[in-house]
Amino acid sequence: MLIDRAYAHLPDSSEYDRAAWPWSVPCVRQLLDGGLRFTAPITFLVGENGSGKSTLVEALAEAYGLDSYGGSAGYRYASSRQPSPLGTRLRFDATAAGRRMVRGPRTSRKGFFLRAETALDALRSEAAGKGLSVRVDQVSHGEGFLATFRDKFHQRGLYVLDEPEAALSFASCLQLVGVLHELGRMGAQVICATHSPLLTAMPGAEIVEVGEHGMRSAEWQDLAIVDHWRRYLADPNAYLRHVID
């Protein structure tokens, strides 16, 4: 692991308004009050749309030195994009193994940020620089993601993923589980925002539930996404009758 804790550093409270975004988001307020501790190499952030998962993972990527647009450490694809208010204020308590990457020059950092909304543009840049084994504009979205996992997720570093399952089939999600497990075993750290009960079932992973309560540890079997998928697969009509007239 590289990071023990992430927290928001605001030396002067007059600089921000807790009623304004992003400080009004419960998980961000928790970063201000006590931070987020990481206890396992793989951490999944789960929660409903609008809970703040993407805001959080984007800020974590920015604070580490990854481009908020997405892509490998050490590259800038969208340098004109303004850093997020949270990303500029986020700080890390690093492990002994992570201090050089976290506190050293940006070029010493290893890792990748996979941001679903801008992934294709960032991956095109990777491919143009000979960083990928495929041309992402010549394969499916999911195949481009799989090529990224195969070519870029293979060394110690910080890997931040925002809903990677969006482009993946069931079988491809299983491949991603294998890739992430291997990263954790080699000493890398993964922080992944997801809606996938398949990914979050990874043995040994930490699950953090994000919502109106802020952030709290959760067990896989207690997650709402797991409960809803079980019920839906057992009886789809129990849900569909409420949305289809």
Tokens 């609008």 locate to: 50
Task: Estimate to the nearest angstrom the gap between the alpha carbon of 104 and the chain centroid.
Answer: 22
Averaged pLDDT for residues 190-204 = 97
The end-to-end CA distance of the chain, in Å, is 50
For residue 129, the model assigns a pLDDT of 57
Q: Which helix (H) or strand (E) holds 37?
A: strand 36-37
Structural domains present in the chain: 3-215 (3.40.50)
For residue 148, the model assigns a pLDDT of 85
Q: How far apart are CA 159 and CA 156, in angstroms?
A: 9
- Per-residue pLDDT of 134-175, as tens digits, reads 777 778 888 888 888 888 899 999 999 999 998 899 999 999
- The yes-or-no verdict on residue 240 having pLDDT over 60 is yes
Q: How far apart are CA 60 and CA 54, in angstroms?
A: 10
For residue 60, the model assigns a pLDDT of 96
* Tokens read off for 147: 């090529």
Q: How far apart are CA 87 and CA 90, in angstroms?
A: 5
Q: How far apart are CA 107 and CA 109, in angstroms?
A: 6
- Tell me the residue length of the chain: 245
* Amino acid making up residue 40: A
Nearest of 122, 118, 117, 116 to residue 75 by alpha carbon: 122
- Per-residue pLDDT of 110-136, as tens digits, reads 999 998 777 777 777 766 655 677 777
Q: How far apart are CA 208 and CA 80, in angstroms?
A: 32
Averaged pLDDT for residues 45-73 = 91
For residue 14, the model assigns a pLDDT of 64
For residue 138, the model assigns a pLDDT of 77
SS3 content of the chain, % helix, strand, coil (to 5): 40, 20, 40
Averaged pLDDT for residues 179-191 = 97
For residue 135, the model assigns a pLDDT of 75
pTM comes to 0.93
